[in-house]
Homo-oligomer: A and B are copies of this chain.
Amino acid sequence: MKKKLNIALMGSGFMGKAHSYAWTLVNKFFDVDYEPVLKVNFGTDEELTREFAEKWGWEEISTNWEEVINRDDIDIVDIVTPTYIHKDMAVAAAKAGKHIFCEKPCAVTYDQTREMAEAADKAGVVNYLNHNYRRVPAVAFAKQMIEEGKLGTIYHWRGVYLQDWVMDPNFPLTWHFKKDLAGGGPLFDLSSHAIDLARYLIGEVKAVTAVNKTFIEERPLPGQRAATFSAGGEVNSEKGKVEVEDASFMIAEFENGALGSFESSRFAAGRKNYNTFEVYGSKGALTFNFERMNELQYLNLDDPADEQGYKTILVTNMTHPYAGAWWAAGHVIGYENTFVHAMADFLKAVEKNETIEPNFHDGEKIIRTLEAAALSSEEKRRVEVSEIK
């Protein structure tokens, strides 16, 4: 019989839903030794939290996060709140000896991420930072191919992550536009994912040269329940200042010599969750677009010259990473399944008390790179990531 693990979910928005889904399903699809128990859900809005918890079967709710984290019966703290509070919650959880599953971006500053990593290391708890796109089967398969040497020496990385959900100037000033709450705009929200993928697939960024840009300087204050991807209720007639960029374009020099770029924007009409990358190497190339997440494009320079071309691999075979847990070749899966994959790997790490990636140390490196980019944009010069202390 499986050992029960009590989960505390900190937050109940868009990500709370995705995590609740995944905690419900993880041991149906993957062979893990634990049965996650949806123990308690923390939220600041009691009514919303109660409603959410009932729907998803969280046994209890609370509006006091410190109490929740310090409960003796909690094994795992799962953090899905706005970014600014990640650090306090994660440090508290580490101190309380809880394993931590934390949404991205890691925190709003490089300093905070170091504090998180140190606390987790000191406490010896398993900590996981949910850059979930690593666990799309097509991406995990890309990793496998690159590790097998199928791309040879890497020359280029092109990471492009575009959305359009705030293009309307009347989209309100949600927490995503406040530097102290979000860390930054698409640089933190989107490029953090892209940088995680680049580090995962090809290696560390050495130096960045970036330009950030804000198109809409002021926005109406938000009404009730505005949230990620959602304008919420009626907006306020009062306006406030946007503190983050609307778009961030960055050139990256990698330690291995590759030349790359990260371009993210919330002002790219028609792009909903257009998280894409291209990797070019001496032996081949791979491209990925999350909006067609079951596909990976592969160009193999070992093919006969006249038969070369980008191949669309449907990464749904039973032998593809993670895919064997699901349906059958050609039976495509969705966004939500990446969370199940993440939890399966996390629970295996918990079982063996092992390190899992990405974790708070990865968060450190990512946020450090983002801060380097912000500095580069501000000082209009190339910045070595190591300059950020």
Contacts and interface: CB of A to CB of B under 8 A. Distances in A.
Interface of A: 14, 17-18, 20-21, 24-25, 27-28, 55-56, 141, 145, 155-156, 158, 160, 162-163, 165, 167, 209-211, 213, 215, 228-230, 246-247, 249-251, 253, 257, 259-261, 263, 265, 267-274, 278, 280-285, 290-295, 298-301, 303, 305-317, 319-320, 326-337, 380-382
10 contacts: A17-B327, A158-B160, A211-B259, A269-B299, A272-B329, A272-B330, A298-B307, A305-B319, A311-B312, A327-B336
B332 A291 contact: yes
Contacts of A303: 311
The listed residue with most B CB atoms (<10 A of its CB), out of A160, A246, A273, A316, is: A273
Contacts of A282: 167, 269
Identical subunits present: 4
B314 A309 contact: yes
A270 to B, nearest CB: 4
A330 B273 contact: yes
Contacts of A24: 24-25, 28
Given A269-B285, A309-B314, 20 more contacts: A14-B327, A145-B307, A167-B282, A209-B209, A209-B251, A211-B382, A213-B259, A249-B261, A268-B278, A269-B284, A273-B331, A290-B332, A292-B292, A307-B313, A309-B313, A311-B311, A333-B335, A334-B334, A380-B382, A381-B381
Contacts of A213: 253, 259
A386 B160 CA distance: 29
Q: Interface majority SS on A: helix, strand, loop or mixed?
A: mixed
A309 B315 CA distance: 9
A190 B66 CA distance: 55
A14 B329 CA distance: 12
The listed residue with most B CB atoms (<10 A of its CB), out of A283, A284, A291, is: A291
A202 to B, nearest CB: 14
Given A55-B28, A56-B28, A259-B247, A280 B269 contact: yes
A298 B389 CA distance: 45
Contact of A156 (B267, B274, B295): B267
Nearest to A321: B306
Contacts of A165: 328-329
Given A247-B259, A261-B263, A270 B310 contact: yes
B334 A319 contact: no
A42 to B, nearest CB: 19
A319 B283 CA distance: 21
Nearest to A208: B211
Contacts of A145: 307
Contacts of A141: 306
A268 B285 contact: yes
B329 A251 contact: no
